[in-house]
Amino acid sequence: MKFLSEKHARIYSRILFSAVLVFVSYYIFKSFSDIQGHLHQIKYTSIVLSFFFTLIAYLLSLLVWIRLIAAFGLKSDFISEAKAWSVSQLGKYMPGKAGVLLVRLDANKNHPKKTVTLAILIEFVTAFIASCLLILFSILFLGEAIPYYFKIIALICSILLLIFLHPKLLKPLTNSALKYFNREPIQIFPSFSLILKFVLINILIGIPYGLGLYFSMNCFADVNFAYIVPITGVYYLASLVGIAALFAPAGIGVREGVIFLVLPALIAKQVVIAGTIMIRIISIAVEISLALFFYYLNSKK
């Protein structure tokens, strides 16, 4: 933050980090309160598996970010950038989800703010498109519950989403948005092949994310593994609705509500409720573990 002195910048960083910790602590407390009545049913092997697959998903997301900033010419060592990324993940627990952007910008204050913001935007867009594709793909596995014509529509929408990612469309739209907010247009933009690569990786990340939710539900009862694709699709649908709900930190309540509404058609309602709360706790545990781990490594450099 160039308009702040070094001393004031440090104070700002500490205040921001403290605010994040306060909201994360509240989120943890609420999550444990919600699941207290189900603790006697837990299968701890499934918890370990859920944590493992969720951790893999987060690490793959981190690698996407590292590759993305490299595409924008931002040079940074892996440990510093991993610390910045992992701490910024905790920022989504702040109201309005502004913490993700604020923490990431603060951690990358030595880089041009516009470029970092654009990288975050492309990260979001490619993850968003990948989420939509995973949701559409999961529709194909709902059998006769979904009409055939709806599956055709889902396929057409998938193709249109991929076309939208072409720089000839995405770059002008991005520059129009920047112009609307009185920002300079961007010059460097990832190639179409690179953007598609980010989308593909984000789709693959859906596999460990889906497995994480599957095993979090499997903590409380045996869940048919054949439901893994619908579970993944519903998880991503809930995540997108949670993102849209700016009033809900990390989509709390909104994301769970979507899962509670859809998955009981396949899995017992009590299992869905307990498993959804469990994946919330596991996700927070993974985020905190990564933030502390990379913070420690960065302090030892």
Asked if 272 and 263 count as a contact pair (C-beta separation under 8 A), the reply is yes
The pLDDT of residue 193 is above 80: yes
Q: What is the pTM of this model?
A: 0.73
Quickly state the pLDDT bin for 3 (edges 50, 70, 90): very low
Instruction: For CA atoms 240, 108, 96, 290, give the dihedral sign.
Output: positive
What amino acid occupies position 112? P
pLDDT in tens, 222-246: 888 888 888 888 888 877 776 655 4
Helices H, strands E: what count in the chain?
11, 0
Question: Could you count the other beta carbons within 10 Å of the beta carbon of residue 58?
Answer: 22
Map tokens 């989120």 to a residue: 27
pLDDT in tens, 83-135: 888 888 877 766 555 556 666 666 666 667 777 777 777 888 888 888 888 88
DSSP structural state of residue 70: H
What amino acid occupies position 259? I
Structure tokens at 99: 């913490």
- 52-55 long-range contacts, Cβ below 8 Å, gap at least 24? 53/208, 53/209, 53/211, 53/212, 53/215, 54/208, 54/209, 54/212, 54/279, 54/282, 54/283, 54/286, 55/286, 55/289, 55/290
Judge residue 172's burial from the number of C-beta atoms within 10 Å of its C-beta, 0-12 exposed, 13-18 middle, 19 or more buried. Answer: exposed
pLDDT in tens, 205-216: 989 999 999 999
In 3D space, the residue among 297, 224, 289 whose CA is nearest the CA of residue 263 turns out to be 224
Domain extent listing, the chain = 15-27+42-299
User: What residues contact residue 120 under an 8 Å CB cut-off, 6+ apart?
Assistant: 100, 101, 104
Q: What is the mean pLDDT of the chain?
A: 75
For range 5-30, the mean pLDDT: 54
Asked if 195 and 167 count as a contact pair (C-beta separation under 8 A), the reply is yes
Give the number of C-alpha atoms closer than 13 A to the C-alpha of residue 263, restricted to the C-beta side: 33
DSSP structural state of residue 248: S
Render the burial of 39-49: b for 16+ CB within 10 Å, e for the rest. eeeeeeebbeb
User: What residues contact residue 226 under an 8 Å CB cut-off, 6+ apart?
Assistant: none
For range 29-33, the mean pLDDT: 57
